[in-house]
Amino acid sequence: MQKNDQHIALALFSGGLDSLLAVKLIQDQGIKVIPVCFESPFFSCKKAIQSAKQNNLFVHIVPLEQDYLEMIQDPKYGYGKNFNPCIDCHAFMYRKLGEMMQEFNADFLISGEVLGQRPMSQHLNGMNAVAKSSGYKDLIVRPLSQKLLQDTKPIREGWIDKNLLLDLQGRTRTPQIELAEKYGIIEYPTPAGGCLLTDPGYSKRLTDLKQHNMFADRFITFLNVGRQFRLNDSTKLIIGRNQNDNEYMTVLLENNESQCNIVLKARDIPGPIGIVQSRDEIVSDIILKLAAEILVRYLSKVNDEAVVLVQFPDDEVREFKVEKRTDGFEREMLLN
């Protein structure tokens, strides 16, 4: 593609106010900005799509794949309070964005990062580490704080005017809210939340997967639903807590025809469904019986015993007759 005089920036776009303002500030300089949102099992682009729509932007959605899962298991800069490797994660996204530059004929990269806004990835050392580790250090511009940061190529080359960028720092939101009013931005999502890697309970479940060599998409997909039990080194059980969980688990099962899901349900008695997941090809009867016992523990309509139907991935169904135990045996297997 022949490049004309107009410069093009790719933007890391979460849909939050900061990323929206970063786009606006650069657009104001006559630069074409292409917003990009990365999604993974841990964060979605729902907010970004909604925010882009409200602000007449078109956002490109890019799923992160296996290499992202590998990165979060062993991040160079470590984790935040939970399973969130924010420095490596930002760097990873910038790297992906950088790799997309050729396809979009783009010249540089921007994001809504604000100096000092977040403890890990947005203090000065963190931001420098993100830029360096991304491999695109000299092409990154942070419009909201760029006046406080080292000049990069887009500024040195005069593609953008640094004087029209900002010097925001810290956690206060007041300047952003004032700027939003100036731009006529009325609706935008709240800044916090949205990433499961910062959730303590979810992080505990992820840590368990990592410790048991089960850090794979087919297991992660089911990580945010139901009660989860560790049955042995290679096998887990998930039990729906309520109707919503059961429905969601059913949808997940329909969408994930993985050979690792064994489905448990009591015969003729309404109640939760259970899913046994294992990295072993064959799950022993001892483990299946244990799973059935835990399921029956959560059947309020059963007093003494029940028959549990166990459906295997090849649709074979077997029955396990188990007694209801009330001695709390399952507690030590419960992840959280």
Q: Are strands 305-311 and 227-232 parallel, antiparallel or unpaired?
A: unpaired
Output 127 or 310, the one with its CB closest to ligand SF4: 127
Q: Which residue has the tokens 């004929």?
A: 105
Shortest Cβ 226–ligand SF4 spacing (Å): 23
Shortest Cβ 19–ligand SF4 spacing (Å): 12
Q: Which range touches ligand SF4 (CB under 6 A), out of 82-90, 154-162, 262-270, 283-291?
A: 82-90
142 binds ligand SF4 (CB under 6 A): no
Distance CA 293, CA 296 (A): 5
127 binds ligand SF4 (CB under 6 A): no
Shortest Cβ 99–ligand SF4 spacing (Å): 18
Output 209 or 310, the one with its CB closest to ligand SF4: 209
Count how many Cα atoms sit within 13 Å of the Cα of residue 270 in the half-sphere of its side chain: 2
89 binds ligand SF4 (CB under 6 A): yes
Q: Which range touches ligand SF4 (CB under 6 A), out of 44-52, 194-202, 237-245, 260-268?
A: 194-202
Give the relative orientation of helices 17-27 and 174-183 as an angle to the nearest 10 degrees.
50
197 binds ligand SF4 (CB under 6 A): yes
Which strands form 8-12's sheet, in the order they lie side by side?
A: 60-63, 32-39, 8-12, 108-110, 140-141
136 binds ligand SF4 (CB under 6 A): no
Output 188 or 320, the one with its CB closest to ligand SF4: 188
Check residue 164 and report its DSSP letter: G
Binds ligand SF4 (CB under 6 A): choice among 19, 51, 82, 84: 84
Shortest Cβ 286–ligand SF4 spacing (Å): 38
Q: Which range touches ligand SF4 (CB under 6 A), out of 52-60, 190-198, 223-231, 255-263?
A: 190-198
Sequence-ordered list of residues with C-beta below 8 angstroms from that of 292, at least 6 positions apart, any chain: 264, 274, 308, 310, 320, 322
What amino acid is encoded at 163 in this protein? N
> Which contacts (CB < 8 Å, 24+ apart) does range 162-170 have?
164/25, 164/28, 164/29, 165/25, 165/141, 166/25, 168/114, 168/115, 168/144, 169/114, 169/115, 169/116, 169/117, 169/145, 170/114, 170/115, 170/116, 170/117
Q: Pattern 4-43, binding to ligand SF4, x per CB under 6 A? A: ---------------------------------------x
Sequence-ordered list of residues with C-beta below 8 angstroms from that of 190, at least 6 positions apart, any chain: none
Output 198 or 277, the one with its CB closest to ligand SF4: 198
79 binds ligand SF4 (CB under 6 A): no
What amino acid is encoded at 198 in this protein? T
47 binds ligand SF4 (CB under 6 A): no
94 binds ligand SF4 (CB under 6 A): no
Site residues for ligand SF4 per CB under 6 A? 43, 84-86, 89-90, 121, 195, 197-198
